[in-house]
Chains A and B, each alone.
Chain A
Amino acid sequence: MRPFVSVTGLRKSYGAHRVLDGIDLTIAQGTVFSLLGPNGAGKTTTVQILSTLIKANAGEIRVAGHDLAKEPDKVRAAIGVTGQFSAVDSFLTGEENLRLMADLLHLGRAKGRTRARELLERFDLTDAARKPAATYSGGMRRRLDLAMTVVGTPRLIFLDEPTTGLDPRSRRTMWQIVRDLVRQDGVTIFLTTQYLEEADELADRIALLSQGRLVAEGSPGELKRMVPGGHVVVRFADPDGYRRAASHLRVTSRDEESLTVQIPGTGVSTLRELLERLDGQAIDVAELSVHTPDLDDVFLALTEESSR
């Protein structure tokens, strides 16, 4: 598939402070790309540059087939942005906010009204349609914000920390909305987040940003395989089994009190070998569980490495 967004050698500094230090990335159409990183890593700066808000110092950027530096208006026509700080007009009602977007996109009166009503319904805001946005809860504001972004049916949506500060239920609602946008509307999503769970839930590909550089990139699964830490935990039924197993198996850690040992590796062959040995020695096992590393392990391992 041809890339919908391609970035090479993106650099940005504020004075002597280097915020982005040579970023390369490509995003395929209709996928969710997540830029993950701690606070101050340069996530928002990246979004601001790619969404034409600020200019890069160096780098080639193409979005939706257009050179961002040469045709910013063409890029603007293809994108929508929902930032970290809600971009709604608090004085206007939800419906008026959506109609404002429709007017700016020159949809026409009738079409604008239908589109607004449709989106209020879709984003579950119909009941609050005629209330000023200032009275909305955090989750409602964020939904209105995204609805405003969607009015113009953008092909690429930037979501800059879309669920920061939301309660778990609102967060799940936002996730479902994002999934629907990708599945039903074929939208490409550029998501920044500091929640690993969010990237794991939504993203097809994840890039880890740390101190202005991409330190890793891949699918959630690929990233998880990048760090060691996958292991099998075996708990034995009796101390005798525990002692025999501990002397026969290659264990990395053991706990006599709870009668558990850890064995490195999570592959099928490791498991088969382990089970055969336990069976051959006739050792009773009370519980056996496989632990794969989660994104937290990856995140901490890789961002620590690069900050050293």
Chain B
Amino acid sequence: MRAITDSATMLRRQIRHMWRYPTLILTYSGVPVVLLLLFVYVLGGIMGTGIGGDRAVYAAYITPGIMIMTVASAAQGTAISVAVDMTEGIVARFKTMDIARVSVLTGHVLGALVQNFIAIAAVTLTALLIGFRPAASALDWLGVVGVLAMFTFAITWLSAALGMVTKNVATASNLPMPLMLLPFLGSGVVPPESMPGPLRWFAEHQPFTPVIETLRALLAGQPAGSSFAAAALWSAAIALGGYLWARRLYNR
């Protein structure tokens, strides 16, 4: 009970930070929107032909990829804000108070969820504005939100841990960078079938691919099949691992 109220208090603190300094949220929403526009209008013609369609078909293909790139780039923001927090005296104060200990971290994670959903909403809205016409039913949309929440939650716990690995804010901000590459080395931008052997194997087996595939299927109004189970398993594993790691680093 106390863990919930204290986490809610810490979430309010994060939202106040966002509200007062909206630059971060604008950056983390603006960059994926620009990427979406670049992919659709600059590369979309050729890419569309490549996957046997046109620019509109590619817009539908790239949108779930950009959604996940949004999550990956926001992970950097989470790592930075956790790292900055740890260098401030306020965390020492929280640690000497009789409060739910983990609430400092859950506040960060929940705040990052809010931030991610704002950024993903901006991406989705832009996609709809430039002609993306998803065939998803209301239930499918619910599924999209659920899968995004699940995956964001997992990546955010991981990035909270990455934010505490070093005492150096600059290093902490670089650690989640590889996450940005994973949508490219998966099915985010092009189908893995078009990639050379070992890379294709990696693309088909890394955690981002089933998440992107599930989103793509749901948005197209099709059953997600086995990719949903894989996405759920990966998310649960990353969330648990990230949480345990973050908690250990915090209590260190």
Contacts and interface: CB of A to CB of B under 8 A. Distances in A.
B89 A87 contact: yes
Contacts of B20: 91-92, 132
A73 B94 CA distance: 12
Interface in B144-202: none
Contacts of A179: none
B133 interface: no
B96 A90 contact: no
Given A83-B89, A100-B9, A104-B9, A51 B96 contact: yes
Q: Residue among B13, B20, B96, B98 with the most chain A CB within 10 A?
A: B96
Contact of A81 (B16, B93, B99): B93
B165 to A, nearest CB: 19
A52 B97 CA distance: 9
A46 to B, nearest CB: 14
Interface residues of B, number: 21
B204 interface: no
A79 B88 contact: no
Nearest to B89: A87
Interface in A96-112: 96, 100, 103-106
Contacts of A96: 16
Determine chain B's interface SS by DSSP, over half rule: helix
Given A81-B92, A100-B9, A104-B9, A91 B17 contact: yes
Nearest to B101: A73
Interface string B12-40: 11001100110000000000000000000
Contact of B92 (A73, A83, A132, A152): A83
Contacts of B93: 81, 83, 87, 148-149
A297 interface: no
A85 B13 contact: no
A76 B16 contact: no
Nearest to A100: B13
B110 to A, nearest CB: 15
Given A53-B92, A83-B92, A73 B9 contact: no
Which 3 pairs across A and B sit closest by C-beta, in order of nearness? Answer: A87-B89, A87-B93, A77-B98
20 contacts: A53-B95, A53-B96, A76-B96, A76-B97, A76-B98, A83-B89, A85-B92, A87-B88, A87-B92, A89-B88, A90-B88, A92-B13, A92-B16, A92-B17, A92-B20, A100-B13, A104-B97, A104-B99, A105-B97, A106-B5
